[in-house]
């Protein structure tokens, strides 16, 4: 799994042209899902995955908190307040909160 650390934790919202969605489900991702597309197993797996994440919320947040103190993560150059805001946003999402993206 490739992880683009420069776009983690809602950084897409602060780009020159902000991302309006948390990720892009492009045709390149949908085509391999077969004839049912994202209406089949993908949606069901996403629901299961979110339930697992929510069930392990405390452990996950502890791991994410380690990024706040990792000198390799880009926001160390900025204030740790930004990192804390991102962590808080992750916590709200794990509790079922929905983030409104800028218009």
For 15-50, the pLDDT digits (tens) are 788 777 767 777 888 888 888 888 888 888 889 999
Mean pLDDT of 56-81: 74
What does the pLDDT read at residue 53? 92
Does the global pTM surpass 0.75? no
Whether 74 shows a pLDDT value over 90: the answer reads no
pLDDT at 101 over 60: no
71 pLDDT band (50/70/90 cuts)?
Answer: low
Q: Is 90 exposed, middle or buried (0-12, 13-18, 19+ CB in 10 A)?
A: buried
- Torsion angle in degrees (nearest 10) through CA of 36, 38, 40, 42: 140
Which residue, among 6, 11, 37, 31, has the nearest Cα to 22 in the 3D structure?
11
């Amino acid at each position: 799994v490739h992880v683009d650390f420069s776009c983690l934790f809602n950084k897409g919202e602060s780009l020159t042209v902000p991302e309006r969605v948390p990720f892009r489900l492009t045709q390149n991702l949908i085509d391999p899902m077969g004839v049912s597309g994202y209406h089949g197993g993908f949606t069901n797996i996403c629901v299961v995955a979110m339930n697992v994440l929510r069930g392990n919320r405390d452990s996950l947040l502890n791991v994410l908190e380690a990024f706040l103190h990792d000198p390799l993560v880009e926001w160390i150059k900025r204030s740790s307040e930004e990192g804390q805001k991102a962590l808080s946003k992750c916590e709200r999402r794990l509790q079922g909160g929905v983030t409104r993206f800028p218009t």
